[in-house]
Amino acid sequence: MSTHDLYTEPVDTSTWDVPMIGDARFTWEYDDGRDRLLALYQKGKDKQWDSTKRIDWDLEVDPHDPLGVPDQSLAIYGTKYWDKLSEKERGELRRHSTSWQFSQFMHGEQGAMVTAARIVESVPDLDSKFYSATQTMDEARHVELFTKFLHEKIGLIYPINSKLQDLLNDTLNDSRWDMPYLGMQVLIEGLALAAFGVIRDITTKPLPKQILAYVMQDEARHVAFGRLALRDYYKELTSAERREREDFVIEGCYLMRDRIRGREIWTNFGIDPKEVDEMVENSPYMRMFQSLLFSRIVPCVKDIGLWSDRIRQTYDDMGVLDMSKADLDALMSQDEEIADKLDTERFAAEEAARKAEVDAVIAEAAEG
């Protein structure tokens, strides 16, 4: 079935063409570069995996309760709109909510794939080109598995959110080589990584937990790459250059904050988006979710050196300034450990099942 048949509203069948701006940079320096970045490149090669084999796609998913999370996670829970819904309609709302979230993940991962390829082309040093090449493959795998989940398990897809599309457009339309890093590795990937983590930790369903845990294992490397690449470069910026990048971060963070409100969902249920904005502000769960979504972005922005009074004031106004105290390295290590532990538990259970099957066959033969 064509993806266009699954969209909640008609989507243009032509491609979205973003003009290529900036130089393609070749380097004739083939010696080893920064050790930490090359180590990350080696890890990127070692950690490649096949989504058709590592994910257990035989696991069933109830499309009307795909994540098994509390209904309090829905912005209209406890309001007059929620009370009016039948149980069937509430199930359909859960389906739409999950479809919207995972559709934006899918679209964002395609943006990450294109941006990583752009970084290969535009970044001046070879070690960064090496790593970006592995990231491009990672992002292709992520697009593949989110697409498969939406097609086969949910059967419903949302178009790209306009705020996400705006930030992608700004990221790709800038000729400076560092801007794809800042827009994608720090802002878009940082927010996606935090969103993946919240859902990974609260979902009670094994398939989405697998998908998000394994994607996060990759994404932890990508955010680390952005930090390494930008930290040294931003020390050399002039005041004017630094201010331009701060403006980009401030605008991008507001776009990301507005994106997570999911107004498209509520429009499909006949609710005024302005009312939803108010319900989001009044929902304890949504306020917590919104705050946690900046748990990776804020400390990363601080780490790369864009930590002016203007930036701090922006995060204070958004209520996420305390996230600057988060330990990014600890969070990334935890992402790695969760994925490895999930692998160990899954494959140990499969091995035990195979052993029990063999033992049963042997016992049956002995009795015969």
More confident residue, 19 or 99: 99
Across the chain, mean pLDDT equals 88
Which residue is listed with tokens 């973003």? 18
- For residue 241 the two structure tokens come to 């250059």
pLDDT band at 270 (very low <50, low <70, confident <90, very high): confident
Question: Mind listing the pLDDT tens digit for each residue in 299-342?
Answer: 999 999 999 999 999 999 988 999 999 898 898 889 989 999 99
User: What does the block give as tokens for 57?
Assistant: 């796609």
% of residues, the chain, pLDDT over 70: 94
Give the dihedral of Cα atoms 104, 105, 111, 113; nearest 10 deg: -160
| Residue 157, SS3 per DSSP | strand
| Higher local confidence (pLDDT), 352 or 167 | 167
Residues, the chain: 368
- pLDDT band per the 50, 70, 90 thresholds, residue 128: confident
Q: Among 42, 41, 231, which Cα is nearest to 132's?
A: 41
Q: Which of the two residues, 21 and 99, has the higher pLDDT score?
A: 99
Query: Residue 123 burial by CB count (10 A; 0-12/13-18/19+): exposed, middle or buried?
Result: buried
**What is the arithmetic mean of pLDDT over 246-265?**
85
Rounded Cα distance, 194 and 215, in Å: 12
- Write out the two tokens for 217: 């294992």
- What is residue 282's predicted lDDT score, i.e. its pLDDT? 79
CATH numbers and ranges of domains, the chain: 3-12+34-367 (1.10.620.20)
The predicted structure's pLDDT at residue 69: 94
- CA 232/CA 220 separation, integer angstroms: 20
Tell me: pLDDT of 217 over 80: yes
* pLDDT exceeds 80 at position 167: yes
Could you tell me the CA-to-CA distances from 173 to 20, 166, 230 in Å, in that order? 7, 10, 19
| CB distance 136 to 113 below 8 Å | yes
What is the rounded average pLDDT of the residues 223-232? Answer: 85
8 Å CB contact between 154 and 2 = no
Q: How far is CA 93 from CA 79, 89, 104, 149, in A?
A: 14, 6, 17, 18
End-to-end CA separation in angstroms for the chain: 50
pLDDT tens digits for range 26-82: 887 777 667 777 888 888 888 899 999 999 999 999 999 999 999 988 988 988 999
Q: Which of 156, 146, 5, 161 shows the shortest CA–CA distance to 92?
A: 156
Higher-confidence position of 156 and 23 = 156
Residue 242: is its pLDDT beyond 90? yes
Answer whether residue 274 shows pLDDT above 90: no
Q: Does the pLDDT value for residue 366 go beyond 70?
A: no
What is the structure's pLDDT at 310? 95
pLDDT of 360 reads 67
pLDDT at 215 over 90: yes
pTM of the model: 0.88
Determine the pLDDT at residue 219: 87
CB proximity list for 342: less than 8 A, separation 6 or greater? 209, 210, 213, 214
Q: How far apart are CA 312 and CA 319, in angstroms?
A: 10
Residue 138, C-beta contacts closer than 8 angstroms, at least 6 positions apart: 44, 48, 116, 218, 221, 222
Q: Residue 247: what pLDDT?
A: 95
303 within 8 A of 190, measured Cβ to Cβ: no
